Amino acid sequence: QERTGIRSLKVRYTSVFGYYIEVTKANVHLVPADYVRKQTTVNGERYVTEELKLKEKEIFSAEEKSLAREQELFAALVAAVLDESLALARTAEALAELDVLAGWAVLAREWDYCRPELDESDALSITDGRHPVVEQMMKQERLGLAGSYSFVPNDAALSSTDAQIILITGPNMAGKSTYIRQVALITLLAHVGSFVPADRATIGLCDRIFTRIGADDALHAGQSTFMVEMTETANILHHAGPRSLVVLDEIGRGTSTLDGLSLAWAIAEHLAAPNAPRALFATHYHELTSLEERLPGQVRNLHVEVREWPPGDPHAQIVFLHRILPGRTDRSYGIHVARLAGLPLSVVQRAREVLASLAVSHSAGPEATCVPDASSVPDAPSNAAVPGASGRRKRPALETTQLPLFTTYLEHPAVDQLRELKIESLTPLQAFDTLRRLKDAADAAEIPPSA
């Protein structure tokens, strides 16, 4: 600019032309004679000079030298690291282990964990166990509220001689899934060398922990939610041994009620067989609780405590106490939970009406339901039976059991007449006439005498 007097002169760079001097058309007449025109553009001219070419070579040479030096230094660094790679790997591994152990130590101290006892028995005993993740999340969400909002601890006990499989019943949100998961997590933490969230824990050595929790499909594999559930359950039943711990959450919920109940029943019996694994089985099928009487010493019933306020009021509020107690539950509280979830009041009220109508047929006794009484279920195969036990065990009556649909029609006189009907002896015309009379009588709520 000083030499030419062109104030708008600029030195630019492109990957095609390299460095060049750009001059607007208004100043072309001021360009020195030693400038070599390289390109003409709409707004001006582009030039190069010998001096500019020399500078360009120096710049490119410096870049090449810089890159070569960078590669040289990097290669030296790699060589130095490789020479010490074994020591560095051991140091990193030691630091990682130290980090984990220090984290466990801080966790155990801040959250009052206990040192578990590991032995070679098949027993599992936990006193006041807690879920390590849920407990911390509840403290974070408490935000200064009273300490009564803290996690509710629970005991757990499993062994082949006392309770090989535990059946946990209770409504949704009561804490069934949290309970079975916390037992699995405490078992895992004990085996990896950590203290555990409990007052006391004695854990028999476990070779594997199997879980079937949650509901998910596999669309990419063409598998429905129920198919995924059964595939995972099949893997558990084929590979779980006497040293394994199995955690199952609501097996059979992905299909019809009777199919799901039948599968859950058979799976529970399989898990209660000799040399089977220790298992925790959360379910809404209350019929399964009769397995405690059918397989004494192998199956134990637990339930999650729930309180109604005021007691006995159909519109009562329910309080989940999250305490695991012995015995079976008497209700599922599905409508109460639906109300808590925010379903429209009209839907909740209609659900109560339907439940009340279904309860009418239920009041006649177990024989009026389409779900079989425990005594009507065939005994398990011999490999699932208790040594020394034979025959069927009568299921004690429950205050309330689950109510199946379409119960009323099983007691309808039309059903009895249809059962007595000998179809093979009827002509097509007689069959049509019989069907017409049964339909007319059913519509009129009266059944004529059999023809």
Residue scoring higher pLDDT (282 or 317): 282
Nearest 5°: the CA angle 49, 52, 58 is 145
Task: Give the pLDDT of residue 386.
Answer: 37
Task: Give the pLDDT of residue 125.
Answer: 95
Q: Hey, which bits of 130-244 come out as E strands?
A: 154-158, 165-169, 200-204, 209-212
CA nearest neighbour of 126 among 95, 153, 150:
153
Residue scoring higher pLDDT (96 or 412): 96
Task: Give the pLDDT of residue 334.
Answer: 84
CB atoms within 10 A of CB 294: 23
Task: Give the pLDDT of residue 79.
Answer: 94
Does the pLDDT at position 363 exceed 60?
no
Domain with CATH 3.40.50.300 in the chain: 117-330
pLDDT band at 144, cuts 50/70/90?
low
Rounded Cα gap, residues 184 and 107, in angstroms: 18
Task: Give the pLDDT of residue 375.
Answer: 52
Please provide residue 324's backbone torsions phi and psi, each rounded to the nearest 5 degrees: -90, 120
Considering the chain, what percentage of its residues have pLDDT values greater than 90?
A: 38
Name the average pLDDT for the chain. 81
Does the pLDDT at position 129 exceed 90?
yes
Rounded Cα gap, residues 420 and 379, in angstroms: 30
Among 23-32, 49-58, 254-263, 422-431, which stretch is predicted with the lowest mean pLDDT?
A: 422-431
248, 281 contact by CB (below 8 A):
yes
Q: What is the pLDDT of residues 372-429, one digit of tens each?
A: 444 555 565 544 433 333 333 343 433 444 444 444 445 566 666 777 777 777 787 8
Q: What is the pLDDT of residues 186-221, one digit of tens each?
A: 999 999 999 999 999 999 999 999 999 877 777 777
Task: Give the pLDDT of residue 173.
Answer: 84
Considering the chain, what percentage of its residues have pLDDT values greater than 70?
A: 81
Of 222-226, 280-284, 351-355, which has the strongest mean pLDDT?
280-284
Q: What is the pLDDT of residues 156-169, one digit of tens each?
A: 999 988 889 999 99
Of 46-60, 172-186, 217-231, 371-385, which has the strongest mean pLDDT?
172-186
pTM over 0.95: no
Q: Find how far residue 342's CA is from the centre of its chain.
A: 23
Q: Find how far residue 79's CA is from the centre of its chain.
A: 47
Among 11-20, 27-36, 383-392, which stretch is predicted with the lowest mean pLDDT?
A: 383-392
Q: How many helices and strands in the chain, by DSSP H and E?
A: 11, 14
Task: Give the pLDDT of residue 142.
Answer: 59
Does the pLDDT at position 67 exceed 80?
yes
The answer to whether domain 117-330 has CATH 3.40.50.300 is: yes
Does the pLDDT at position 451 exceed 60?
no
287, 401 contact by CB (below 8 A):
yes
DSSP β-ladder status, 317-326 and 299-309: antiparallel
Domain with CATH 1.10.1420.10 in the chain: 10-48
Q: What is the pLDDT of residues 312-329, one digit of tens each?
A: 666 677 888 899 999 988
Task: Give the pLDDT of residue 109.
Answer: 95
128, 136 contact by CB (below 8 A):
no
Does the pLDDT at position 38 exceed 60?
yes
Task: Give the pLDDT of residue 377.
Answer: 57
Does the pLDDT at position 371 exceed 80?
no
Task: Give the pLDDT of residue 290.
Answer: 92
Task: Give the pLDDT of residue 403.
Answer: 45
CATH topology assigned to domain 10-48: MutS, DNA mismatch repair protein; Chain A, domain 3 (1.10.1420)
